[in-house]
A and B are shown apart, each in its own frame.
Chain A
Amino acid sequence: MATDRRAEVKWRGDLMSGTGRIDSVTSGAFGGLDVSWPARSDEPNGLTSPEELIAAAHATCFSMALSNGLAQDGHAPEQLDTSATVTFQPGEGITKIALEVVGRVPGMENGAFQEAAEKAKENCPVSKALAGVPEISLAARLEG
């Protein structure tokens, strides 16, 4: 079954001095998030940006795929802490995404964890959609 998720954005003015707002999304989980070009291409000053939202999309997708893979191997995680860092080069595009995950997974061996993390990186739907990013790196480690 196909699932649709919608986002609505409003923008006023030109690119350099105009302002926008991520007004609403299907779930209602967030809304009213301001965006601007200076905040996107320089210091964020508390504002989100397309690249930060891509980081959020990728980190969430990767975490779900990894938890699924670990559970299928009989090692459901207690906790996964994931960060995604998206590098944006204005004029060039998105040049890198760095994924980092720290897992608390009872009874898991490091080698198997590395393998599961690599698989999640390859197969999660957001990774597939962003496969054209020149570099997607992964650092995975077990805690405890």
Chain B
Amino acid sequence: MPRVQREANVTWEGNVARGDGTITAASGAFEKLPYSLASRIERPEGKTSPEELLAAAHAGCYAMSLAGELAGRSSAPEHLDVRAVVTLDQVADGSHRIVASEIHARARVTGVTEGELQEAAEAADKGCPLSALIEASAQVTVKATLEGGSNGD
């Protein structure tokens, strides 16, 4: 398969404490999303942040990976709900680090046992390139539940 390139552009004005910026996707899918330092480490107040964009990337990447794994093993999922929560924290040296990304997937898929779902969920984590990258320096946890199953929620 050919290489794929995706680009985003940011304009930032001013210093970090008082300045703010906007982000635009080259695909045109979103433009001029606002962000600022205050909205990054305090209340978001309608503005996005690098960690939120990474959470969206991780949830999207994982959802596609899990859809592929389930379809390859049994049947295509009728529906997947995937949530990613990315945590930014201050570490011992005072700098900020992304310390965790927590994935929770709920699957509605026919003919899949609980055990098969767990296998697919683990394989999806290995198959999603962003999971592997984040795992090198932060904790990635994956929880998968069958909708309508014994532990469904």
A binds B: yes
Interface residues of A (CB under 8 A from B): 1-16, 18, 20, 22, 25-30, 33-35, 37, 39-42, 44-64, 66-68, 70-71, 76-91, 93-95, 123-126, 128-133
Asked if A27 and B11 make an inter-chain contact with CB atoms under 8 angstroms apart, the answer reads no
A128 to B35 alpha-carbon distance, docked (Å):
20
Nearest A residue (CB) for B108: A12
What secondary structure prevails in chain A residues at the interface with B? mixed
7 contacts across the A-B interface (CB closer than 8 A):
A10-B63, A26-B55, A47-B27, A60-B23, A61-B50, A80-B12, A132-B133
Asked if B87 and A87 make an inter-chain contact with CB atoms under 8 angstroms apart, the answer reads no
Least CB distance, B10 to chain A, in whole angstroms: 4
Residue of B16, B42, B71, B129 near A94 (CB, 8 A) is B129
Nearest A residue (CB) for B130: A50
Residue B90 CB within 8 A of the other chain: yes
Asked if B11 and A129 make an inter-chain contact with CB atoms under 8 angstroms apart, the answer reads no
Asked if A49 and B56 make an inter-chain contact with CB atoms under 8 angstroms apart, the answer reads no
Residue of B1, B16, B97 near A125 (CB, 8 A) is B97
Q: Which residues of B contact A94 (CB under 8 A)?
A: 129-130, 133
